[in-house]
Amino acid sequence: MGGRVAYRPKKADAERVGALRLKLSQTREWQRAQAIMNEIVVAVGKYRGQIVVPRQCKACGFFGHTRANCEVAERRQAEREEMELCREIRGFARYADEVERAEAQRLRDQAEDRRKGKVTQGEMYEKLGIAWSEHPHGLGAFPTWYVEGRKDLTAQ
């Protein structure tokens, strides 16, 4: 196989090794971690005079696990994703507000124009007998052939 040697405790030593592993996971000091690791190697009956260097997590700095199975890193990642989602939602809300405001303004302008006796663009097209549609970006009335011919405007 090669690669990392797994130091799995025998049943009798399991409790002691469990307690040592817990201690290992609660330190960020490498000297202390190394001392605990030495104890673990002995406790599992694998001591042959070698030094087994404990793994230190690059995310939280504690020993005995890596970034790949770090709860702190996992929590940070979840928080980042949540913040990202919140930003997106705020962005959508802002965009919806802007669209709503623009539409309200357009209706006010239209009412004002009507009050002044002006005809809307749409009414103008109707008088001219030209089929018309609202521009998908809220730019007002355009001949239908134009809007239809610009499907890329509506595809968002």
Question: Residues interacting with Zn ion, by CB under 5 A?
Answer: 57, 59-60, 70, 72
Rounded to 5°, the CA angle 22-24-29 comes to 145
27/125 with CB nearer Zn ion: 27
26/105 with CB nearer Zn ion: 26
52/59 with CB nearer Zn ion: 59
CA dihedral 55, 61, 62, 64 (to 10 degrees): -20
CA 141 to chain centre: 39
Which amino acid is it at 30?
W
72/130 with CB nearer Zn ion: 72
Q: At its nearest, how many Å lie between Zn ion and the CB of residue 26? A: 12
Q: At its nearest, how many Å lie between Zn ion and the CB of residue 29? A: 15
Q: At its nearest, how many Å lie between Zn ion and the CB of residue 97? A: 41
How far is 16 from 42, CA to CA, in rounded Å? 11
Q: In this structure, what token pair is assigned to residue 75?
A: 């929590």
Q: At its nearest, how many Å lie between Zn ion and the CB of residue 63? A: 9
Q: At its nearest, how many Å lie between Zn ion and the CB of residue 71? A: 7
141 three-class SS: strand
80/137 with CB nearer Zn ion: 80
How far is 45 from 42, CA to CA, in rounded Å? 5
